[in-house]
Amino acid sequence: MVTMSAAYDGNLRCTLTHEPSGSTLRTDAPKDNMGEGALFSPTDLVGAALASCVLTTMAIVARRDGVELDGARAEVSKEMTSVPTRRIGALPVRVTLPARLPADYRAKLENVARACPVHKSLHPDVKIELLFVYA
């Protein structure tokens, strides 16, 4: 079990603490929801968590298989919706992987990405599209 805490700092901002390491980060409400949008919003963190999880999960498998993933990147766009209520509607993710990856290994990594824990934890109403680019 990992414990994290959140403290409300006022002005629609919070400080989050990862208890095991003591590392912190701050959030702000988005501009379209009364905040300044100066920091990650809570829903931004969901998108960032998905991108990070996709890369980390693929890297774990690649390391186990002796494959190098240095230079891999993921970019996620968060699309909000207000129907039926304000929530994340879609999280399209563009994953850029090294072109040197063997063609017969790519499908394995793509399947691993689709099975990352964050992806599997999100509600099915959140549309997640993973696009893989080899460059």
Domain boundaries, the chain: 1-40, 41-134
- Cβ burial 32-44 (10 Å sphere, 16+ → b, else e): eeebeeebbbebb
Per residue in 18-54, pLDDT (tens digit) is: 999 999 999 999 999 999 999 999 999 999 999 999 9
Q: Looking at residues 113-124, what average pLDDT do you find?
A: 97
Q: What's the rounded Cα separation, in Å, for the pair 51 and 116? A: 10
Side chain identity at 8, as an amino acid letter? Answer: Y
What pLDDT shows up at residue 122?
Answer: 98
Record: fold of 41-134: GMP Synthetase; Chain A, domain 3 (3.30.300)
Question: What pLDDT, on a 0 to 100 scale, did the predictor assign at position 89?
Answer: 98
Average pLDDT taken over every residue of the chain:
97
What is the average pLDDT across 2-15? 98
Mean pLDDT value across residues 67-80: 97
Work out the average pLDDT over 60-73: 97
- Average pLDDT (86-115) is 97
Is 48 exposed, middle or buried (CB count within 10 Å of its CB: 0-12, 13-18, 19+)? Answer: middle
